[in-house]
């Protein structure tokens, strides 16, 4: 089992690390390590808490430490640039710093590597936060999980990946959470529609894949989708199929409604769809020898109601949808390797954005769902309300400035009008 990064809530950690006799301190550390290892492993955790480079003479110099851990792809020469920032509003300026897209109409490609592992026989939890501060109109906010053989400097949309997970937004139609899983080198999207959050604030996205082929998708530590992998992805043929030897009885009535046999067409129903425009006059320059006999134009008849059809009524003989008998599908073979990946080793952002400004933070790859939930509460959970409060304050201040600006404009307009009026009166004198 891989060692986990120990992370306890601040108050608990302070009490645990209070001064103790040497022997008790050693024993406590030993017991904590056993307890935490039993909980699970943290394979990757990134919060960008080491800032951006050295500051000397008021100028930031050198390479930021996060840039040593994250590799920009060079597959294209015009990829968009990331910057480390908490954005325009936040709950904690340092804790909320993350990777922000900074250029409009750009592809982005960046990744970070960790020690390879396999999730065989254990859960796989992928979690991170994303904030579309710019009120994104079209662009991705998802992450990808790659195998260890990924060439990070050549990463692109064509690179083989294991998992793609997270929000994708484009216009009013596409506001969904992708969950795309690799099975035998073929990519399968989830069949369920999962709506993402689009309010401009930071949100926590979590994917849990379990060894019993159950899964969960959580947003802000609340389950928004769960089920069985085989049911919600088309990895395998269906377990049961319609019996091809059985056909629906000919007398089976599955029409819920029928035409009312007592309904009759009104006598005044049949009118022409178009009528002659009697107000039209033949143009004076009309040449019948060249243009033929002039015909007045046609107008849409306002009384035309289309083809008459009898009204619909409930079918008294309706038997419901015929239940086609099912049989076992001989082509179905269960596969325990679904969602099992060897050499998981890279997490990356490979996406396109029309309007930049999205911030990615608090990346976590672990096998411990409980720890992921705690980590989410300690990061996103601690800053979500202060972030919203700061944003609301900014909105109110902006409204105040706008009103003050309008008052200044009105005063200037009023002064200008009075000046013009005085000038006009002097000229009359």
For 69-87, write each residue's pLDDT tens digit.
999 999 999 999 999 999 9
Judged by average pLDDT, the poorest of 218-222, 228-232, 383-387 is 383-387
Cα separation of 162 and 188, whole Å?
10
pLDDT of residue 208: 98
Q: How far apart are CA 213 and CA 228, in angstroms?
A: 6
Nearest CA to 106 out of 344, 380, 281, 351 is that of 351
Compute the distance between CA of residue 93 and CA of residue 75 in angstroms, rounded to an integer: 33
Mean pLDDT of 288-316: 92
Q: Name the region of 330 (left: φ>0; alpha: ψ -120 to 50; beta: rest).
A: alpha
Q: Is the pLDDT of residue 356 over 90?
A: yes
Higher pLDDT, 137 or 250: 250
In angstroms, rounded to a whole number, what is the distance separating the alpha carbons of residues 32 and 18?
14
Note whether 334 and 236 are within 8 A (CB). yes
Q: What is the pLDDT of residue 12?
A: 40
């Amino acid at each position: 089992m891989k060692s986990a990064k120990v992370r306890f809530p601040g108050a608990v950690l302070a009490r645990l690390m209070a001064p103790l006799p040497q022997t008790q301190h050693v024993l406590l550390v030993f017991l904590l390590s056993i307890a935490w290892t039993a909980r699970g492993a943290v394979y990757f955790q990134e919060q960008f808490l080491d800032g951006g480079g050295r500051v000397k003479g008021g100028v930031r110099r050198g390479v930021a430490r996060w840039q040593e851990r994250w590799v920009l792809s060079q597959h294209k020469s015009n990829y968009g640039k990331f910057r480390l920032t908490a954005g325009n509003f936040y709950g904690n300026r340092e804790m909320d710093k993350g990777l922000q897209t900074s250029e409009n109409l750009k592809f982005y490609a960046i990744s970070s590597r960790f020690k390879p592992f396999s999730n065989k026989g254990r859960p796989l939890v992928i979690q991170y936060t994303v904030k579309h501060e710019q009120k994104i109109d079209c662009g991705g906010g998802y992450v990808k999980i790659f195998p260890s053989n990924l060439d990070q400097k050549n990463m692109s949309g064509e690179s083989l990946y294991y998992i793609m997970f997270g929000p994708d937004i484009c216009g009013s139609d596409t506001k969904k959470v992708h969950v795309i899983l690799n099975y035998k080198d073929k990519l399968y999207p989830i069949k369920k529609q999962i709506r993402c959050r689009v309010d401009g604030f930071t949100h926590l996205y979590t994917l849990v894949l379990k060894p019993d082929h159950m899964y969960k998708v959580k947003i802000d530590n609340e389950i928004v989708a769960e089920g069985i992998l085989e049911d919600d992805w088309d990895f395998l043929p269906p377990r049961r199929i319609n019996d091809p030897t059985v056909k629906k009885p000919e007398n089976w009535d599955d029409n819920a409604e029928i035409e009312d046999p007592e309904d009759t067409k009104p006598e005044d129903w049949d009118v022409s769809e178009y009528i002659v425009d009697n107000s039209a006059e033949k143009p004076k320059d009309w040449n019948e020898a060249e243009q033929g006999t002039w015909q007045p134009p046609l107008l849409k008849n306002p009384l035309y109601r289309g083809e008459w059809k009898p009204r619909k009524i409930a079918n008294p003989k309706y038997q419901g949808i015929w239940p086609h008998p099912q049989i076992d599908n001989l082509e179905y073979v269960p596969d325990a390797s679904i969602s099992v990946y060897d050499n998981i080793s890279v997490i990356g952002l490979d996406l396109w954005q029309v309007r930049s400004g999205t911030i990615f933070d608090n990346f976590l790859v672990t096998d411990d769902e409980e720890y992921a939930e705690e980590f989410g509460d300690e990061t996103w959970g601690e800053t979500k309300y202060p972030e919203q409060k700061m944003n609301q304050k900014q909105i109110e201040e902006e409204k105040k400035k706008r009103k003050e600006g309008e008052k200044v404009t009105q005063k200037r307009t009023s002064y200008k009008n009075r000046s013009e009026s005085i000038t006009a009166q002097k000229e009359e004198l």
